[in-house]
Structure 1
């Protein structure tokens, strides 16, 4: 079983988004099971579960893990092909984000478009590498930093831009015979806070205000970065 896989086919994406089939996928990502075993967990007849399993198998989201004999019946034990799934923008080709339509380093929506393209491109590369039975050379860096102020964040972004740009200039070899182009994406965004539900007061009317915290959003202006 893969840790994560990318769904590129529109029909497979639609199948995975069905609530019942999504529940079956979650169960089969934990351990292999038959239609009869799953029927009790999801509260559906075995025949109905089997119908959904066939749809998931047809689109490569689950696979046969083995068989077992139970009385006069041979049960097929199915398992998910991955522990988690990501739907590629390629599943919606007519409306997938295009970062080249506009470029704005300070735009969260441009960052989202870059992330969507990353999912699409890496998904295609994984598919191609698997078909060619070759390893895919990738690298990722993930970290977290707490800035004391918006000015510090802007200064960090400026230094990061200068440093990465210097590395690009140093190693870029556009005329190298046999070389291969690589894309570099560096992202910086506030850490998303987990919702915190406030406990209701023991007596009296409910307290005013939201029941939970949302994503971190600052109302302070962000200093512009050099383009």
Structure 2
């Protein structure tokens, strides 16, 4: 089982977003049969089995084993991943494109960049899984507390200069056999612990949003 699964097909996304099937996926982090799940969720076994067949048809759950009990074969299933993310590929017609409005001080532009990241890395993961190869990735995740807006602005300027210098040092446009990598550095306010609903996010100071992106050509498949 993978820690994170990527849903790229619109049909699979629709299936996964059904409340009953979402609950079944959560329970299927551990192997279960339709019978054991029916007892947990309080639904008839036949109805649970229907949902499981639908999830299996879209690759969201997988068969672990079959147990023979008298004249009945009990199928034990498990989720294909412990958690799932829906790629913007599943909503291709309305997927965000950061190139349409490259306002780097906009929180919505940052969201578009993040959506593109999910799309591209999801495509890489899918292609790498089919090829039986790993994907070379790297990420940094941390928190910095600024004393003032001026400190925040100075930080972003220094960060921009530092990353630009690194890119300039290592980027080789004519490297034979080289491969482009996308570099994204993002900075945004951390949500307060008491923010538990999407509407509460409005309490976050919008003027703190700063995003920096330094990029080369995007990758679309794992070679």
TM over 0.5: yes
- For the pair shown, the structure with the greater C-alpha radius of gyration is 1
Counterpart in 1 of 2:183? 184
1:148-169 deviations in whole A, cap 9, x for unaligned?
A: 1111111111111110011111
C-alpha distance in 1, partners of 2:121/2:78?
Answer: 24
Shift of 1:178: 0.8
Higher strand proportion (structure 1 or 2): 2
Q: TM-score, normalised by structure 1?
A: 0.86
Over aligned residues, Cα RMSD in angstroms?
A: 2.1
Counterpart in 2 of 1:28? 28
C-alpha distance in 2, partners of 1:90/1:153?
Answer: 34
Shift of 1:195: 2.5
1:10-35 deviations in whole A, cap 9, x for unaligned?
A: 00000000000000000001x10000
1:135-193 deviations in whole A, cap 9, x for unaligned?
A: 11111111111111111111111111110011111111111111111100101001112
Q: Please list every run of 5 or more consecutive structure 2 residues that lacks an aligned counterpart in the other structure.
A: 213-223
Q: TM-score, normalised by structure 2?
A: 0.88
Q: Please list every run of 5 or more consecutive structure 1 residues that lacks an aligned counterpart in the other structure.
A: 198-211
State yes or no: 1:217 paired with 2:216. Answer: no
Shift of 1:64: 0.5
C-alpha distance in 2, partners of 1:177/1:120?
Answer: 27
C-alpha distance in 1, partners of 2:83/2:108?
Answer: 25
Question: Which structure is higher in RCO with an 8 Å CA cutoff and minimum separation 6?
Answer: 2
Counterpart in 1 of 2:114? 115
1:99-143 deviations in whole A, cap 9, x for unaligned?
A: 111212211001000000000000000111111111111111111
C-alpha distance in 2, partners of 1:222/1:7?
Answer: 29
C-alpha distance in 1, partners of 2:97/2:103?
Answer: 13
C-alpha distance in 2, partners of 1:196/1:79?
Answer: 33
Identify which range, 79-88 or 129-138, moves more after superposition: 129-138
1:26-64 deviations in whole A, cap 9, x for unaligned?
A: 0001x1000010011111100000000000000000000
> For 1:84, what is the secondary structure of its paired residue?
strand
Shift of 1:69: 3.2
> For 1:77, what is the secondary structure of its paired residue?
strand
C-alpha distance in 2, partners of 1:49/1:194?
Answer: 36
C-alpha distance in 1, partners of 2:89/2:208?
Answer: 35
